[in-house]
A and B are shown apart, each in its own frame.
Chain A
């Protein structure tokens, strides 16, 4: 009892101390009946102004330009920007204007009403919550309570920073394309196809664990167009696993489930960069039955004959990978591999030097990946089968484990996005860290 009392008191004191220390000031204002704040350090001044000069062909949220004591600044209507209801004032009426400075840029934003400057403590700012407000969470720095009012603190750097400009434009375009709830419902021309494509995406994920995302979007778009044309008005949707397989037919990289043929092996060899190191560490997540691992090991032996090579190959499918270490080929193999094979009583198998370079592991990449710094990652047709959040985690591991000069080889129809520089060819996409 006494213990909890003491704790309570300590907590209250802590709270008071937090509230006392004012280290953040913000200009508060209202938009559609809610209170917002902006860090005072980004605010240059406030003003009442009207009769903005209209700029043709500007985005709808740009009200025009304004002459601020000789400087021409653009004026953005925050209510339209955030899709909030905005009352249109008389032509002559004055609007409340906050002049912001973000980086080198100066511009004005129109709000419903400017309130005052409020001092708060940084520590009392709470993280934004998605339920809160009508504004995209990524534009909100946090939420703070002061004198019985809740203020949503906007992150102006996020909203207006120049490098975000394109992203914002895209966001805006997307937002504008969506019919606003107040507008009369109207069928956009491509509406049916959009819905069908999102259904197809969902069924692919449900039936085959295939997730459409930035890694494979381009392929999906072209495949969907093809699918639509092929179906000739018939039902576009995928209902069975066999149809999902049919849809994914063209997705697979060359020589999936068998040794790479001579042409593909040579194409991969050609893409591989010069590596100076004495040993090369390679990671091959999602190696399946192990054909691609053996193929790659041979390609690496040929490309870097003097170097020590180690390949860690994982798969979380125990049945698939359990046969990988002892692969025997009763029939002929592509010429490329002949120098790396010996003849045994059951057929051809790989020579000891190649064997010793590969570790096949029953391992789930979503668990910790204890690997040394890597020179290369071969990850074909595997990313698409991870949920987007898992993909993100795996990319984090890629960046973590890869040496600065390291390369990633992906599947034929997969691309790494932000943070990666592509090189390589059409058939063998390859990427380096930025």
Chain B
């Protein structure tokens, strides 16, 4: 993944999470991964198109998703219902949107697809020939892993 793309994603994830959760957010060590990876339970995915192709995946477990949705809505949510799903989808949209805006300012043109959300046990994402950048984010409500796979259109 191009070096220029990394920072906008890391920064916007950091800013957005801190803003909406009103709590401390810590970034873990970035690394690359290309094997299939387990999904923790709730995953929001945003597709990217334009000069590049790829996707951004936001991965967290169910309790984290509930806590984050509760914090963002200002009420205690206990079930993984439509409101929770919509909230997590919106969070993914906000982070990706802000990153793409930053990239646009740097001269890179990206388009977004509307986010989609997947929930369930024992899920796995595998597209083995795509290398993904993993940005682990430690929030007060649990861990979110942001999995960014973008490549230049050949």
B residues within 8 A CB of A316?
A: 32
Q: When A318-B30, A359-B152, A362-B32 are in contact, do A367 and B4 touch as well, CB less than 8 Å?
A: no
Q: Once the chains are docked, how many angstroms separate the CA of A318 from the CA of B129?
A: 20
| A7 CB within 8 Å of chain B | no
Beta-carbon contact of A360 and B129 below 8 Å: no
Hey, which chain A residues are within 8 Å of B152, CB to CB?
Answer: 359
Write the A308-326 contact mask toward B (1 if CB under 8 angstroms, else 0).
0000000010100110110
**Interfacial chain A residues near B30, Cβ < 8 Å:** 318
Measured CB to CB, the closest approach of chain A to B149, in angstroms, equals 11
What is the size category of the interface that chain B forms with chain A? 10 to 19
Q: How far is the CB of B85 from chain A (nearest CB, A)?
A: 32
Contact B3 A367 (CB under 8 A): no
Contact pick for B3, options A361, A364, A368, CB 8 Å = A361
**Across-interface contacts of B32 in A (CB, < 8 A):** 316, 362-364, 367
Q: Does B128 have its Cβ within 8 Å of any Cβ on chain A?
A: yes
**Interface readout for A348-366 with B: 1 if CB under 8 Å, 0 if not?**
0000000000011111100
Partner of A324, one of B3, B129, B131, B151: B3
Contact between A361 and B129, CB atoms less than 8 A apart: no
Beta-carbon contact of A370 and B151 below 8 Å: yes
Q: Which of B4, B128, B154 contacts A370 (CB 8 A)?
A: B154
Q: A402 to chain B: closest CB distance in Å?
A: 16
Task: Determine whether A209 belongs to the interface, using a CB cutoff of 8 Å to chain B.
Answer: no
List CB contacts (< 8 Å) of B109-154 with chain A.
Answer: 128-131, 133, 151-152, 154
* B7 smallest CB distance to A (angstroms): 8
A372 at the interface (CB under 8 A from B): yes
Q: What would 5 more interface pairs be, CB under 8 Å, given A359-B152, A361-B3?
A: A318-B6, A360-B3, A362-B1, A362-B2, A367-B34
Q: List 7 A-B contacts (CB under 8 A).
A: A318-B6, A322-B6, A324-B3, A325-B3, A362-B2, A367-B34, A368-B129
